[in-house]
Chains A and B, each alone.
Chain A
C-alpha cells in the first residue's frame, strides 16, 4: 500500500534540486545561526554600567566601590555628584544600577558599627534586574564577610570565627559555567524545531495555491503515501542540518559531549519527524501559503523560544507556563540534548523524553492524516 511513496519522494527531491537557492539556504542558515550565536550570544549578564553617588569619599567607601568594579559583572559608568542625577541616569540608561554611599559610611565601619548603602536598580528588563539584585547582594555579602574577618582579626579572634556556617559550592555537568555549553546545544534544539517545521509548512498548501494538488487528488495515491512521500526528503534535509550542527558544536565550539550519540541521533530523528509533521499539519489545514507560514512562525519561533527551557528552566515557570512547556516537543528534546551533551547518560534515562516525542509524533500524524481530505472544495 506504500508503493507510491518513492514516486512522491522523487518528485519532492526533484523540486528541491531545481531550487538550489532554497536548498542552499536550508543548509546555510542553520550553519550561520550556529556560528553567529555560538560565538556571539552569551546569556551571561555582565559589564553592566554601574554608577556611584559617593557622599563619603573615604578610603572605606573607595574600597567598597572597588569590590564592585573588580568583578566582571559591573563597569563604572561614572560617579554622580548630585542626587538629582540618579533618576536621570537610570531613565536614560546611562547606568543600570546606582549605589549611594551615605556620609559617615567610613566613620561607622571604622568604629565597628553597621551602616547601609542605597541601591537603585533599573527594573525595565526583569532578567537584568534580577541578576543585578543577585550580584549586588552577593558582592555586598562577600564584603561583609571580609569586614567581619578583619574586625575579628583586629580584636584578636581567629579569622573565620565569626562565620559559623559556610556553603561549599560545586557545579556539576558544566563546572566552568560557560554560557556556550548551554547556548550551543540549545541552538541545536531551536534550529531543529524551526527548520523542519518551515520545510514542511509550504509542502501541501503550495500545491493548493498552484492548483497542482488536484493531480494528487485525482491520482490513486493514498493519504499516507502523500504524507510519507513529502516527509522523507525533508527529513533528509533536516538530518543533514543536524549533522552540520552537531559537527560544529563538537569541533568548532568544542562543547563537551559526554553522552551517547545513538541516543542523541535517535532523539533528533524522532524530533525532526515530529516538527516536520507540525509543519505538514499546518500546511494541510491552511488555505494560503501566507497563513501556513505565519502560523508556523508563531508556533515555532516564539513558542519554542519562550517555553523550551532555552533561557528559563521549565521548573521556574508558573503553572500555566509549565503546562505549555509540557505541550511542546522542544521542551522534551531540550532535556535530552542538554543531558546528552553534558550529563553523559544513556538510553535508560531518556525513555520519558523519547516516549513523549513518540506520542507527540503519532498524534500529529494522525491529525494530519485525518485532515488531508482528497476532495475538491
Chain B
C-alpha cells in the first residue's frame, strides 16, 4: 500500500511544482496577503472624519473642538455654513458633523450649553461608537468646566459622587488590529489552500478523464484521497510556520503566548477536515466551474460565521447554530485561544473534537459517495 500511495503522491507533487504560477500565488497569499491584512481593519474609531461648523467662535467652542482629536477623531474641515456640512456628509468626506450654535459661550455660562452632532448612519457600527465617544467628550468637558468654575473653593470635583471606570484591556492592551487581522488572514489562507488545492486536484482527474485510469489501477479510494490531501497538508505545514513567525509575529509583533506545537497538531487536523470538505465537493461536482461555485458556497459563509466579523455571542440564534457546522469557527476559536491567550488543551478540547468530527464525517461521505459513483 505504501508504494502505491508514494507513487501517487510523487505524481501530485510533480503536478503542483509544474504549475509555478500557483506556487507564486500561494506564496503571495501566505506572506504578502498576511502582511497587508494588518493594514485593513481599523475597528476602533480611528481618525473618524469630522466636519466642524463653529458659529460661536468663542473660547468655549474652540476648547470643545480641540477635544475632537486623534486617534479617535480627525477634523477634516472647518466650514462656514450648513450647506457645506451637508455636502461633506453627502459626499462621505466626513462621517460626523459637529455644529456649535452662535450662543454657545453664553449658554455654557448659564450651564445649558448645547451643541449639535450629526452622524452618518450608513456605517451603523461606527456611528454607534462615535456617539459613545462624543457623549464621553461632552461629559468630560462639562466636568472640567464645573471643576474650573468651582475653582479655588476647594477640590469640588473630588467631592462629587463620580465613578471612574478604569478600563484595562487584557491580551492586547493597545487594541492593535494587526495582531488580530494578520492571524485571521493566515487562518483564511490555510483554509483556502486546503480547500482549493485538494478539490482542484481531484476535479482535474475527472475533467481530463484520468480518474477512470486511477479507478482501474490497484489504488484504493482511501489511498487516492490521501494522496490528494497530503500535498495540501505539507504546503500548509511548511508555509504557515514561516508566515506565523516571519510575518504575524516578526513584522506585526503579535505575541505568541501558547504552545505552537499544540496549534500545529490541530492545524494538521483542520487541514484534513477542510481538504475532506474539498473532496466532498469535488466528488459531487462534475467539472471545475461547478466545484468553484460549490466552494464559494461553503467558503464565504464559513468566513462570515467564523466569529471574526461579529462575535459568536452577538449572532442571530439560528446563525449561531449554523456556525456549528463550520470547521473554521472551531479553528479560529482554538487558534486565538492557544496562540493569543496561551490556553492549553483542557480549554480547547471541544474545538478539537468539533474539527475532528466534521472532518471524519466529510471524509467518510466522500469515500462512500465516490464508491457509489464508480
Interface residues of A (CB under 8 A from B): 19, 21-22, 25-26, 29, 32-33, 36-37, 39-49, 64, 75, 90-93, 96, 99, 105, 108-109, 111-131, 133-138, 140-145, 147-148, 151, 160-179, 181-182, 194, 198, 201-202, 206, 209-210, 285-291, 293-295, 297-298, 301-302, 305-307, 309, 311-313, 315-318, 320-321, 324, 335, 338-339, 342-343, 345, 349
Tell me whether A172 and B157 are in contact in the complex, defined as CB-CB below 8 angstroms, given that A96-B313, A143-B163 are known contacts: no
Q: List 20 A-B contacts (CB under 8 A).
A: A41-B309, A45-B314, A113-B160, A116-B165, A126-B44, A133-B169, A133-B175, A138-B136, A141-B139, A143-B163, A147-B161, A164-B108, A168-B114, A171-B131, A290-B201, A293-B196, A298-B33, A315-B74, A321-B39, A324-B39
- Are B111 and A160 interface neighbours, CB within 8 A? yes
Can you list, as one digit per residue, whether each of B267-279 has a CB less than 8 Å from chain A (1) or not (0)? 0000000000000
Tell me whether A174 and B121 are in contact in the complex, defined as CB-CB below 8 angstroms, given that A48-B311, A117-B164, A168-B114 are known contacts: yes
**Which secondary structure characterizes the binding site on chain A?**
helix
- Are A25 and B163 interface neighbours, CB within 8 A? no
Cβ contacts under 8 Å, B139 to chain A: 141, 144-145, 163
Q: Which of B2-10, B239-247, B339-347, B352-360 contacts A (4 or more CB under 8 A)?
A: B339-347
Cβ contacts under 8 Å, B128 to chain A: 44, 131, 134, 177
Q: In the assembly, what is the distance between CA of A214 and CA of B329, in Å?
A: 45
> Which B160-177 residues have a C-beta within 8 angstroms of A?
160-173, 175-177
Cβ contacts under 8 Å, B163 to chain A: 64, 105, 109, 114-117, 140, 143-144, 147
- Are B343 and A91 interface neighbours, CB within 8 A? yes
- Are B121 and A202 interface neighbours, CB within 8 A? no
> Which B70-119 residues have a C-beta within 8 angstroms of A?
74, 89-92, 95, 108, 111-119
A-B contact count (CB 8 A): 415
- Are A49 and B313 interface neighbours, CB within 8 A? yes
Tell me whether A19 and B290 are in contact in the complex, defined as CB-CB below 8 angstroms, given that A126-B177, A160-B112 are known contacts: yes
Cβ contacts under 8 Å, A117 to chain B: 163-166
- Are B40 and A312 interface neighbours, CB within 8 A? yes
- Which of B40, B74, B116 has its CB near the most chain A CB atoms (within 10 A)? B40
Cβ contacts under 8 Å, A115 to chain B: 161-164
Cβ contacts under 8 Å, A129 to chain B: 43, 169, 172, 175
> Which B200-217 residues have a C-beta within 8 angstroms of A?
200-201, 204, 207
Q: In the assembly, what is the distance between CA of A45 and CA of B213, in Å?
A: 53
Q: In the assembly, what is the distance between CA of A168 and CA of B293, in Å?
A: 49
Q: In the assembly, what is the distance between CA of A116 and CA of B165, in Å?
A: 6
Tell me whether A114 and B117 are in contact in the complex, defined as CB-CB below 8 angstroms, given that A96-B313, A123-B172, A164-B112 are known contacts: no
Q: In the assembly, what is the distance between CA of A311 and CA of B164, in Å?
A: 31
- Are B25 and A295 interface neighbours, CB within 8 A? yes
- Are B121 and A172 interface neighbours, CB within 8 A? yes
Cβ contacts under 8 Å, A39 to chain B: 316
- Are B113 and A174 interface neighbours, CB within 8 A? no
Does B310 touch A at the CB level, under 8 Å? yes
Tell me whether A47 and B313 are in contact in the complex, defined as CB-CB below 8 angstroms, given that A126-B179, A164-B145, A298-B192 are known contacts: yes
- Are B313 and A165 interface neighbours, CB within 8 A? no
Cβ contacts under 8 Å, B227 to chain A: none
- Are A165 and B141 interface neighbours, CB within 8 A? yes
Cβ contacts under 8 Å, A32 to chain B: 297
- Are A288 and B22 interface neighbours, CB within 8 A? yes
Does B319 touch A at the CB level, under 8 Å? yes
Closest 8 CB pairs of A and B: A174-B121, A123-B172, A306-B40, A40-B319, A138-B132, A130-B44, A127-B43, A25-B293
- Are A43 and B116 interface neighbours, CB within 8 A? no
Cβ contacts under 8 Å, B307 to chain A: 125
Q: In the assembly, what is the distance between CA of A294 and CA of B129, in Å?
A: 36
Cβ contacts under 8 Å, A105 to chain B: 163
Tell me whether A290 and B316 are in contact in the complex, defined as CB-CB below 8 angstroms, given that A126-B172, A349-B91 are known contacts: no
Does B374 touch A at the CB level, under 8 Å? no
Tell me whether A29 and B297 are in contact in the complex, defined as CB-CB below 8 angstroms, given that A151-B160, A298-B192 are known contacts: yes
Q: In the assembly, what is the distance between CA of A102 and CA of B125, in Å?
A: 32
Cβ contacts under 8 Å, A295 to chain B: 21, 25
Q: Told that A42-B315, A316-B46 touch, could you supply 5 new A-B pairs with CB distance under 8 A? A: A29-B296, A127-B43, A137-B136, A166-B114, A168-B117
